[in-house]
Amino acid sequence: MTRRLDLLLVADSVKGGLGSSAAAHARWFEGRGWNVGIAAPHLDEVNHGVAQRFRLPAVHSALDIPSVLRAALCLSGIFRRHRPVVVHAHGTRSQLLCLLAGRRPYVTMHGSGGRIEGQSVPGTLVRTLARRVAARLAVRAYSAAPASGGWETLLHASPRLADLDVLPPADGDVPTFVWVGRLDAPKRPELFVEACALAHRLTPLRGVVVGDGPLLDELRAQVAHLGAPVDVRGVTDDVTSALREAWAVCLFSDFEGVPFTVQEAMWAGRAMVLSPLPGLRWFAGDTATYASEPRAIADAMLGLCDRDLASARGQLAADRIRGLLHPDDPFPRLLSDYGARR
């Protein structure tokens, strides 16, 4: 007879921060003797070291009814065979699948609850209402960034924090700014390239882009067109090396919660230039500089070309994050919340 699962995690994706959070969730509880499984699409594409993996059909939108029903039917079969005691959904789309498959889960929302750039007012209202309903339909509803409508803020630490410490000031005399993230439209990497080009007209500096995605070739073409002093390196697992080079880390996006990139930069003691989004302002506070237009971003970079100032801002960031977050978060809290349900 199949051994009953103590905990089944259902995830919208195994990629990016959401996927890393779900995999870290599984590994933490496995390390404490729990029988854990994870159900998600595309599980053969990324190996996070989770022992029991159940592949779900991909669902690209909650409005794609046929794919939602296929995934829910598959998940229902997993529930019947493995009889999980606790079900925890990472993402509201996964929560919907759990509900359709007959289980009311714990749920973690990884994005923020704000408005998506370019989304219509009716679309924003529908999305806000759906998130409020989702919170009410969960056993407990957690958000990895502050969100209204019944969501309890519960920070998820980057899995890299446990192996990362405050780094010494960057070597070299040329101020270096690092952008880390997925090269996709909502992340706005083109703002970084344009800002580097503008700032370089006034003082020598360099930019480094670490990441991959559909805009990779377009970004390299932009670098060549502007003559920007930017090295587009592509994807790497060695983010620490990029942080060692950084006088400051930059991230610009239309929509963010509390991304791992920002956590890792703060933990390493790096100054930051960020989009003025609510989740980022809440988390980084006055340790970061906020800008959203190329000229303002360039001005922020120029201000951090002073090594002493960049180092001081980085130390403030390192102190702040250690007051907000522990590398094990949020799993000891979840262990308590699951309580006697196991």
CA distance 178 to 75: 41
First to last CA, the chain: 19
| Domains, the chain, ordered by start | 7-157+327-341 (3.40.50.2000), 161-324 (3.40.50.2000)
CA distance 186 to 171: 32
pLDDT at 103: 97
Asked whether residue 117 carries a pLDDT value surpassing 60, the answer given is: no
pLDDT at 111: 73
DSSP state of 44: T
CA dihedral 225, 231, 169, 256 (to 10 degrees): 80
For residue 260, name the pLDDT band (cuts at 50, 70, 90): very high
Residue 74: name the closest of 92, 106, 48, 100 by CA: 100
Asked whether residue 244 carries a pLDDT value surpassing 80, the answer given is: yes
pLDDT at 127: 61
The percent of residues above 70 in pLDDT, for the chain, comes to 92
Q: How many CB atoms lie within 10 A of CB 132?
A: 17
Asked whether residue 217 carries a pLDDT value surpassing 80, the answer given is: yes
Q: Is the peptide bond before 229 cis (omega within 30 degrees of 0)?
A: no
User: Whole-structure pTM over 0.85, yes or no?
Assistant: yes
pLDDT at 309: 95
**Beta bridge mates, 143:** 109, 153
Mean pLDDT along residues 272-289: 94
For residue 149, name the pLDDT band (cuts at 50, 70, 90): confident
Asked whether residue 281 carries a pLDDT value surpassing 90, the answer given is: yes
Taking each helix axis from N to C terminus, what angle separates 307-324 and 260-267, rounded to the nearest 10 degrees?
110
Asked whether residue 134 carries a pLDDT value surpassing 50, the answer given is: yes
Is there a contact between 264 and 280 (Cβ–Cβ < 8 Å)?
no
Q: For residue 189, what are the contacts with CB-CB under 8 A and spacing of at least 6?
A: 179, 181, 183, 209, 211, 215, 219, 252
Phi and psi of 36, rounded to 5°? -120, 140
Is there a contact between 255 and 232 (Cβ–Cβ < 8 Å)?
no
Asked whether residue 1 carries a pLDDT value surpassing 90, the answer given is: no
pLDDT tens per residue, range 9-28: 999 887 777 888 999 999 99
Mean pLDDT along residues 170-191: 89
Asked whether residue 113 carries a pLDDT value surpassing 50, the answer given is: no
Residue with more model confidence, 127 or 303: 303
